[in-house]
Structure 1
Amino acid sequence: MSGGDWKALFHAACSGDLALVGYHARSGVDLNDAHPEFLGTPLVACILAGQEAVALYLLAQGADPQLRSEFDGATPLQAARRAGLASVEQCLLAMGAQEAPATPLHRKGFGRWLLRRVGLAV
């Protein structure tokens, strides 16, 4: 898939556009890719943006429950706990997700800064 499709998926996931996320998932966009410009995953990004339905959908479609977003310095489980998305946290735990230490970039809020920078304020 082209980078543009992945970027469209990423933005749709962060903004909560479930129909567009579904379109890109059905079109074969890799849900577990971290684009070299973003270094983040659609799953962690949408969780941090509070997009519960999208996160649950991505998990149901094969998004890796353990895949760390380097940009956000968080796993999906850490992101769900920070965002207060209890149903996503429970789903991740049921899928075997485990806690991992945070990285310095997340502690500085760098991931949230990027979402605001690209117009997806959280």
Structure 2
Amino acid sequence: MAAGDWKEMLVAAQNGDLPLVRYHIRMGENPNYQHPEFLTTPLIEAATFGHLEIAQFLLDNGAKPELKAGFSSDTALTMAQQHKHTEIVKLLKSVL
């Protein structure tokens, strides 16, 4: 996986671009990879920005909800709680 591919998937998760996230996962990108520059995951970003469908898709494709962001030690759940994304909170609690 090229770093640019992973960054593109991360930005797609932030922006709510499910087709692009789906493309990258189908091309074999690891949903749990944390680039040393960002130290976060697409699931954490989807939870932060309130993208429920992307969060569900990532979980269905192996994303680990217990992973922590490297800079803050936040998880997808703590970020969803902080930003009051209640449907994502429910989703994440159901898989933890």
TM-score of the superposed pair, with normalisation by structure 1 = 0.73
Name the counterpart of 1:34.
Answer: 34
CA distance in 1 between counterparts of 2:28 and 2:60 reads 15
Shift of 1:50: 2.0
The amino acid across from 1:74 in the alignment is D
> How many residues of Structure 1 are paired with residues of Structure 2 in the alignment?
96
Gaps (5+ residues) in structure 2?
Answer: none
In the other structure, the counterpart of 2:60 is 60
- Deviation, 1:77, is 1.1
1:6 corresponding residue in structure 2: 6
Q: In the TM superposition, what is the alpha-carbon distance from 1:12 to its structure 2 partner?
A: 0.6
Q: 1:71 offset after TM fit, Å?
A: 2.8
2:43 aligns to what SS in structure 1?
Answer: helix
Q: After TM superposition, what 4+ stretches of structure 1 lie above 6 angstroms from structure 2?
A: none
Whole-angstrom distance in 2 between the partners of 1:67 and 1:73: 9
Structure 1: tracts of 5 or more residues without a match: 97-122
Q: Tell me which moved more, 28-37 or 77-86.
A: 77-86
* Identity score, percent: 40
Q: Work out whether residues 40 and 72 of structure 1, in 8 Å CA contact, stay in contact via their aligned partners in 2.
A: no
Structure 1 segment 1-122 matched on structure 2, within 5 A:
1-96=1-96
Partner Cα distance (2:50, 2:61) in 1: 19
Helix, strand or coil at the partner of 1:19: helix
Flag the 1:81–1:39 CA change in 2: closer, same or farther, 3 A: same
RMSD: 1.2
Structure with the bigger RCO (C-alpha within 8 Å, sep 6+) is: 2
Contact 1:9 1:24 in 2 (8 A): yes
Other-structure match for 1:118: none
